[in-house]
Each structure stands twice: as C-alpha cells, then as structure tokens.
C-alpha cells in the first residue's frame, strides 16, 4: 500500500518491496543538510495545529523525534537512474521462490483464509497475492522508524501537508494501543506492516480479526490478511469473479491498452479474442478492459473490476498484474513455470531474485563493491554491471541484469554459486576478493589496450572496433580522466 496521491514516488521504492534497498545508496544525491532547530520549531507548530487534534500531548511529546532523518528527503526526491522493463519487474516479483512461499503460506493459513473469504468475500489467493508482493509474506516489513520519517517529511520539502496527516495518524495508532511503538517501522514514506498500509488507510480499514482488541498489522497475520481483504472489499471487489485472464488477440487485431474501457465478454468474443490457450472466453467477468503491458506484441490480458482493486493498492498496472499473476500461480499450486503463455517481446527475458543473487555474488567475487547480496538489482548493482559490460566490450553497456547477462557472468564466474552450490547466495567469505577496478575509466583503458579476457556472449556486431587509444591523466583536481590519443600521435 502506498499513498495514492504519491503513487509515483512510492513506486520508486516500494514496488518490489525494494524500499529498503541498500544497493541504491551510492547513486543517490547526497542527503540534504536539515536544520534541527527548524525541525523542532516545525514540530512545535504542528503540535498545536488542527491536523493534530486528537493526538494527546503525552503521545506527541513521547514520540516526537529529536532529530530529522535526511535520508527520507533523499528518497522523496530520488529518481532512478535506470528504467525497468515490465518483464524485469514481473520476473523479480513473480518468481519460483515467491510462488513456493505463497503455496506454503496458503497451507499454513488455510483456516484463517477460509474465514476471511467467508466474511469479506475475497478469494484467499487474491489476499495472498497482495501479501506476497507487498512484504514477501511478512519477510520484508521495512525498518525505518515511522515517526522520524513522517515527522521529517511533515517539515521539509514537498508534500508536507499530506505527510502531516500521516504523521498525526501514526501517532493515533500508537495512542489507541493497536501497535507497539517499537513496531512502528516501515518504508521511508510511512507504509508499514505485513501488507504495508499507510497510517490513514490503517485507521480507515484495518480490522481486529483474531479478536484480541488490537488491530495489529505488524505481528498478527490474521489481522493483516483480514485488513487486506477489507481493503479490497471496500474498493469494490466482486465476490466470485476472477481478476481477469491472459488472452490471445486475433491475427491483425489492433487495440490500445485501456483497462478502464470495460466491455462485456460478448463484446470481446465478437472481436475474436480467446483465452491465451485458444479456449473460448468464459462469461464469469461482468465486464473487462484490455491490458497490453508491452503493447500488441506481448502478453495480452482482459481485466475486470477485481484487477482494479489490486490497482488501488498501489497505482500501477504492472504492480496489479504482479498480484494477479502471483495469485493465479498460487491457485494452481504450480511454481514450475512463472511465465505467461505469450512471451514478452524481448530476446532477453528478466531474471528471478535467485538469479539476481547469483549475479551479485559473481560481481562481488570479481571485486565489485556492490555492498551485499540481496537479490535486488538497485543502482549499485546496475552500475557494477555496466562497468563489467564495459570491461568486456559488451555493447550496449546498459547495466541491465537479464538472462543473457546472467549466463555471461555465471559462465565467467568462479563462484561456487555458478553450480548452484549456495542456494541463498550468501557471500562466499572464504574467497579472497580481488581488488575492485579503480573506476570505470580504468576499465575502458583495459578494454582498449589489452585483449578482452573472454569473448562476450552478446557483443553487438555493430560495436566499433576502432584503434582509438586512451591515456589516463590525473588532473590537478585529483580526478582521473581519460584523454583520447589519436592514432599516430
Ligand atoms: Ca488483533
């Protein structure tokens, strides 16, 4: 759950439960210098403002941060350096591991899910899909202290008014005794708990399902799952309807992706659409819109109202599709194939989180300082991939971690991971790290002046193989630069 008015901000972070990505730190602009006296004056003003009516002064003073947290302003203004393709996004969110975790969770919480289904009318696997995408079934809740984050966002930079409301609501949650103050941690923007509710959504829609008098979305799975079902129900969920289907378009059919332009199933049948496997479209959706996440060439979907309720959780169609697809695979209890029937329009599909860990381990083994192995391809990892590609003459050096790069680096890696020895991709501490290349320029020199260590598996045939040479020069400012040395000079 992200805040709808801030969906574009939140997507940067959360979408994949990536909110805590340590790997993104290096590429960010430096954290701003925030004045603590300005911060404290702001909190004094807020305390007496109308937004904080209903928060008693004991609660306010008790949980009032002593310092602002500049890193949340950094996150607020963070722009990712690299764009993600929809197939990269989906393959990380819906991989074998997450489907298996989902099937396990479905068995473990079967009784609870049945009760939730009968009370809210929401299919168990749809609740599980949200849970899996939001917090990896409770494994990734976010560690930022909520009061510090929300108070900082209330006093600095843009969207202050919105965050003031969320800060006040977070204080009310603790004041009500629903959640222990020490459990009030989450994403930088204030989403927290098993299903990552914002405080305002919590106050509106969280439920106490186990009947202990507290709505605990952090430690109590039944409360969290029921609250999710209540959220979907509140957003217009239709009991008994599927979210939609993967479909096949008739040859030569052209249409734009427009999920909101809903038509009857008869309409779509008349247009010649079938299920992706060629079977006739069923009639169990009251209406559906066509979703084409990668245009006419990629997988196509007809999506109904329930897809829209997933969308309302975090305003992104790709995000809603991840929930939808994960829920289908959990329903089928089949983790063997996580792709759609129609392939994405690429010859280099996305990778799973395990493959992301393989790549990170191989980069660490090769001496790239990417921090650690977390299965999240953030800016640090992508920059290292770019350097690796440059050093091997691979063009374009786009920093993308796809299947081809995975094959390349695993083929070149001495890591035991290459043989699948370490399933969880823990750093191989026994292996001495070779020194990291000094910088990207150093690698370019290597590329141009020495023979490439191995034939790149996907170098573009168009890559120039000129005789341009470079010389490394350290300027008076201490910065190393490459100076082009023309032939003959
Ligand atoms: Ca409870």
> CA Rg, the chain, in Å?
25
What confidence score (pLDDT) does residue 28 get?
A: 63
Q: How far is the CA of 127 from the centre of ligand 1 (A)?
A: 18
**CA distances (Å), origin 401, targets 376, 404, 425:** 10, 8, 16
Q: How far is the CA of 141 from the centre of ligand 1 (A)?
A: 18
Tell me how crowded residue 71 is: count the other CB atoms within 10 A of its CB: 17
Residue 124 parent element (H or E): helix 124-135
DSSP type of residue 18: G
Q: How far is the CA of 209 from the centre of ligand 1 (A)?
A: 6
Q: How far is the CA of 207 from the centre of ligand 1 (A)?
A: 7
DSSP type of residue 178: S
Q: How far is the CA of 224 from the centre of ligand 1 (A)?
A: 9
What confidence score (pLDDT) does residue 80 get?
A: 76
**Cα gap 20→28, rounded to integer Å:** 14
Q: How far is the CA of 371 from the centre of ligand 1 (A)?
A: 38
Tell me how crowded residue 365 is: count the other CB atoms within 10 A of its CB: 21
**Cα gap 365→457, rounded to integer Å:** 20
Q: Which residues contact 44 (CB under 8 A, 6 or more apart)?
A: none
Q: How far is the CA of 324 from the centre of ligand 1 (A)?
A: 27
Q: Which residues contact 354 (CB under 8 A, 6 or more apart)?
A: 95, 96, 97, 375, 423, 425
Measured in Å, how far apart are the chain's first and last C-alpha atoms? 61
- What is the dihedral sign for C-alpha 396, 400, 406, 410? positive
Domain spanning 244-332, CATH architecture:
Orthogonal Bundle (1.10)
Closest to 170 in 3D by CA, of 78, 39, 46:
46
Q: How far is the CA of 169 from the centre of ligand 1 (A)?
A: 19
Q: How far is the CA of 425 from the centre of ligand 1 (A)?
A: 36
Confidence class of residue 57 from pLDDT cuts 50, 70 and 90?
very high
CB within 5 A of ion ligand 1: which residues? 208, 210, 212, 214, 223
**pLDDT of 139 over the 90 cut:** yes
**Beta bridge mates, 291:** 301
Query: 13-17, 62-66, 139-143 — which one is most confidently predicted on average?
Result: 62-66
Q: Which residues contact 367 (CB under 8 A, 6 or more apart)?
A: 433, 434, 435, 436, 437
Q: How far is the CA of 20 from the centre of ligand 1 (A)?
A: 27
| Rama region for 137: left / alpha / beta (φ>0; ψ in -120 to 50; rest) | left
Q: How far is the CA of 178 from the centre of ligand 1 (A)?
A: 8
Q: Among residues of the chain, what percentage have pLDDT more than 70? A: 79
What confidence score (pLDDT) does residue 65 get?
A: 98
pTM: 0.79
CB 288 within 8 A of CB 336: no
Instruction: Determine the 3-state secondary structure of 453 from DSSP.
Output: coil
Closest to 323 in 3D by CA, of 294, 343, 303:
303
**pLDDT of 319 over the 70 cut:** yes
Task: Write down the mean pLDDT value for the chain.
Answer: 83
**What tokens were used for 299?**
């997988």
**pLDDT of 74 over the 50 cut:** yes
Q: How far is the CA of 176 from the centre of ligand 1 (A)?
A: 13
What confidence score (pLDDT) does residue 4 get?
A: 41
Q: How far is the CA of 174 from the centre of ligand 1 (A)?
A: 14
Instruction: Determine the 3-state secondary structure of 43 from DSSP.
Output: helix
Least confident of 134-148, 432-446, 456-470: 432-446
Q: How far is the CA of 115 from the centre of ligand 1 (A)?
A: 15
Write down the domain spans for the chain. Answer: 6-234, 244-332, 353-417, 440-484
Q: How far is the CA of 139 from the centre of ligand 1 (A)?
A: 19
Per-residue model confidence as pLDDT tens digits over 256-297: 999 999 999 999 999 999 999 999 999 999 999 999 999 999
**pLDDT of 221 over the 90 cut:** yes
Q: How far is the CA of 435 from the centre of ligand 1 (A)?
A: 52
Q: How far is the CA of 121 from the centre of ligand 1 (A)?
A: 20
**What tokens were used for 433?**
């790290």
What confidence score (pLDDT) does residue 400 get?
A: 94
Per-residue model confidence as pLDDT tens digits over 393-420: 988 899 999 999 999 999 987 544 434 3
**What tokens were used for 29?**
């602009």
Q: How far is the CA of 231 from the centre of ligand 1 (A)?
A: 16
Q: How far is the CA of 220 from the centre of ligand 1 (A)?
A: 7
Q: How far is the CA of 149 from the centre of ligand 1 (A)?
A: 26
Q: How far is the CA of 210 from the centre of ligand 1 (A)?
A: 5
CB 410 within 8 A of CB 418: yes
What confidence score (pLDDT) does residue 354 get?
A: 95
Q: How far is the CA of 2 from the centre of ligand 1 (A)?
A: 23
Confidence class of residue 55 from pLDDT cuts 50, 70 and 90?
very high
Q: Which residues contact 182 (CB under 8 A, 6 or more apart)?
A: none
Least confident of 1-5, 160-164, 404-408, 412-416: 1-5
Adjacency order of strands within the sheet including 244-248: 258-263, 288-291, 300-303, 244-248, 274-275
Q: How far is the CA of 402 from the centre of ligand 1 (A)?
A: 43
Instruction: Determine the 3-state secondary structure of 105 from DSSP.
Output: helix
What confidence score (pLDDT) does residue 428 get?
A: 35
**What tokens were used for 59?**
């609660």
221 half-sphere exposure, CB direction, 13 A CA radius: 17
Angle between helical axes of 96-108 and 353-365 (0-180°, round to 10): 130
**pLDDT of 131 over the 70 cut:** yes
Instruction: Determine the 3-state secondary structure of 338 from DSSP.
Output: coil
The CATH classification number of 6-234 equals 1.10.8.350
**Beta bridge mates, 145:** 185
Q: How far is the CA of 193 from the centre of ligand 1 (A)?
A: 13
**pLDDT of 429 over the 80 cut:** no
**What tokens were used for 218?**
């952090």
Least confident of 243-252, 276-285, 374-383: 374-383
Least confident of 201-205, 354-358, 464-468: 464-468
Confidence class of residue 79 from pLDDT cuts 50, 70 and 90?
confident
Q: How far is the CA of 181 from the centre of ligand 1 (A)?
A: 16
């Amino acid at each position: 759950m992200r805040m709808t008015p801030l969906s574009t901000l939140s997507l940067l972070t959360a979408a994949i439960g990536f909110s805590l990505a340590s790997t993104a730190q290096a590429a960010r602009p430096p954290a701003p210098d925030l004045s603590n006296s300005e911060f404290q004056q702001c909190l004094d003003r807020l305390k007496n403002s109308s937004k904080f009516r209903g928060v008693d002064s004991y609660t306010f003073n008790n949980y009032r941060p002593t310092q602002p947290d500049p890193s949340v302003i950094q996150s607020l203004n963070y722009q990712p350096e690299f764009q993600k393709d929809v197939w990269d996004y989906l393959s990380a969110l819906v991989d074998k591991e997450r489907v298996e975790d989902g099937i396990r969770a479905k068995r473990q919480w079967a009784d609870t899910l049945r009760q939730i289904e009968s009370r809210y009318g929401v299919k168990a696997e749809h609740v599980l899909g949200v849970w899996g995408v939001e917090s990896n079934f409770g494994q990734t809740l976010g560690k930022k202290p909520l009061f510090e984050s929300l108070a900082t966002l209330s006093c600095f930079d843009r969207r202050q008014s919105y965050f003031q409301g969320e800060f006040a609501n977070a204080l009310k949650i603790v004041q009500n005794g629903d959640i222990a103050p020490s459990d009030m941690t989450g994403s930088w923007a204030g989403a927290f708990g098993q299903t990552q509710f914002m405080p305002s959504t919590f106050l509106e829609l969280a439920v106490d399902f186990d009947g202990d008098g507290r709505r605990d979305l952090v430690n109590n799975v039944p409360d969290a799952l029921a609250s999710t079902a209540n959220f979907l129900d509140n957003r217009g969920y239709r009991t008994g309807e599927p979210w939609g289907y993967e479909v096949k378009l008739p040859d030569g059919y052209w249409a734009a992706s427009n999920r909101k332009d809903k038509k009857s199933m008869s309409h779509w049948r008349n247009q010649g659409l079938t299920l992706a496997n060629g079977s006739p479209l069923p009639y169990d959706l009251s209406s559906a819109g066509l979703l084409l996440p990668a245009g006419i060439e990629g997988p196509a979907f007809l999506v109904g109202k329930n897809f829209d309720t997933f969308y309302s959780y975090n305003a992104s169609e790709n995000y809603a599709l991840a929930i939808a697809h994960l829920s289908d695979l959990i329903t089928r209890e089949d983790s063997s194939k996580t792709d759609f029937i129609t392939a994405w329009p690429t010859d280099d599909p996305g990778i799973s989180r395990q493959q992301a860990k393989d790549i990170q381990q191989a980069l660490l083994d090769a001496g790239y300082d990417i921090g650690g192995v977390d299965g999240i391809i953030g800016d640090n990892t992508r920059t290292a991939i770019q350097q690796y590609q440059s050093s091997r003459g691979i063009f374009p050096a786009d920093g993308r971690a796809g299947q081809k790069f995975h094959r390349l680096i695993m083929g070149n890696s001495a890591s035991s991971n290459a043989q699948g020895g370490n399933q969880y991709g823990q750093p191989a501490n026994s292996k001495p790290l070779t020194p990291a290349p000094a910088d990207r320029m150093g690698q370019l020199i290597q590329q141009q002046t020495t023979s490439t260590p191995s034939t790149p598996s996907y170098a573009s045939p168009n890559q120039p193989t000129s005789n341009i040479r470079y010389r490394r020069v350290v300027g008076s400012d201490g910065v190393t630069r490459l100076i082009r040395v023309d032939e003959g000079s």
